[in-house]
Amino acid sequence: MEEELKNNPITNSQNGVVVDDEDDDTPTLSLETLAALKEFLAEQNGPPVNAEPEEKEKEKEKKEVALVTEDWRLSQFWYDRDTAETVAHEVLTLSQPSQSQSDFRVACIACPTLYAYLKNFSHDISVQLLEYDKRFEQYGNEFTFYDYNQPEELPLEMKRAFHVVVADPPYLSKECLEKVTQTISFLTRPGESYLLLLTGEVQRDRAAELMSLRPCGFRPRHSSKLGNEFRLFTNYDPGNRLGGWEQED
Ligand SMILES: C[S@@+](CC[C@H](N)C(=O)[O-])C[C@H]1O[C@@H](n2cnc3c(N)ncnc32)[C@H](O)[C@@H]1O
């Protein structure tokens, strides 16, 4: 628990939020984002900060997927639209050879934005969201409560059941990645499943050691600007997609 708090960039203070800039390995908020947050807290019941003209906002809503508000105490940083769409397209591409999309099972570990975009693109695709935040119970039986501290406390029917697993662990610690790796091993079919891991550049060596993952050229971005460099790691060569696979030295 102590470790968890230490690794969480957001810790309680008077207004509930401070930036931990002691550890470069944790996702941190840029000054710009922090300023926006302060303004937001001050005007919590008022209009959104930097509200766009009404028409433009409505137009945007039509195309963007609606998401619940980020809870930074849970290390929630949602992807920006381009990132969510790029990763969702990749998962759909991987599902193409399958006869029927409903037989092709995708697990999203701690990445609710991806779940929402995938379902927006294709109602037929079978996606299971494994998440700690119970607000996502709204997704019915496609939501499974998941705490990375109990990496294999999952329904038995999920064992080796998924063709694609996408994970975005809440913390950048070794312990967190090791536990999420245990979950991924539980869910995947050895040598058959596609893995996509979205996390900090600082996890590069661990991702290679634990799961033989390599980074792609594509750089994930978030709606809130984070100070850390984020990467997308895969266990397969995406060809020209996702900015290609970075070559080994
Ligand atoms: C870095 S965010 C990834 C979200 C992703 N960028 C997206 O847009 O969908 C980490 C996620 O881990 C979840 N989380 C927080 N604590 C967790 C825990 N103990 N076990 C599993 N997931 C947790 C958060 O709710 C959040 O969705």
Longest dimension (CA), the chain: 55
Does the pTM of the predicted model rise above 0.75?
A: yes
- When pLDDT is cut at 50, 70 and 90, the band that residue 61 belongs to is very low
Burial of 76 (0-12, 13-18, 19+ CB in 10 A): buried
Confidence grade of residue 72 (pLDDT, cut at 50, 70, 90):
confident
pLDDT for the residue numbered 11: 32
Higher-pLDDT residue of 59 and 126 is 126
pLDDT top residue among 226 and 119: 119
- Whether the predicted pLDDT of 170 surpasses 70: yes
- Domain locations in the chain as residue ranges: 1-249
What is the pLDDT at residue 54? 57
Query: Which of helix, strand or coil describes residue 44?
Result: coil
Nearest to 44 by CA among 52, 36, 55: 36
pLDDT of residue 21: 41
C-alpha torsion angle, residues 102, 212, 29, 50 (rounded to 10): -30
CB atoms within 10 A of CB 18: 14
Which range, 45-59, 89-103, 116-130, has the best average confidence (pLDDT)?
116-130
Ligand 1 atom nearest to CA at 222 = 6
pLDDT for position 129: 98
Tally of residues, the chain: 249
Q: What percent of the chain has pLDDT over 70?
A: 72
Q: What superfamily does domain 1-249 belong to in CATH? A: Vaccinia Virus protein VP39 (3.40.50.150)
Instruction: Compute, in angstroms, the gap from residue 6 CA to the centroid of ligand 1.
Output: 16
Q: So what's the pLDDT on residue 247? A: 82
Given a cut of 80, is residue 91 above it in pLDDT? yes
pLDDT at 187 over 60: yes
Write down the H helix ranges in the chain: 2-7, 31-42, 54-63, 81-95, 112-121, 174-187, 204-211
- Evaluate if residue 16 carries a pLDDT over 50: no
Q: Is the pLDDT of residue 208 over 90?
A: yes
Report which protein residue has its CA nearest ligand 1's atom 5.
111
Residue 162: what pLDDT?
Answer: 98
Q: Which atom of ligand 1 is nearest to the CA of 112?
A: 9
- The predicted structure's pLDDT at residue 227: 84
Pocket of ligand 1 (CB under 6 A): 74-79, 110-114, 131-133, 146-148, 168, 170
Query: pLDDT band at residue 225, thresholds of 50, 70 and 90?
Result: confident
Residue 196 pLDDT greater than 50, yes or no: yes
Task: Tell me what pLDDT residue 216 has.
Answer: 98
- Measured in Å, residue 49 CA sits from the centre of ligand 1 at 25
Q: Report the 10 Å Cβ neighbour count for 192.
A: 9
Residue 67: per-residue pLDDT: 84
Residue 29 above 90 pLDDT?
no
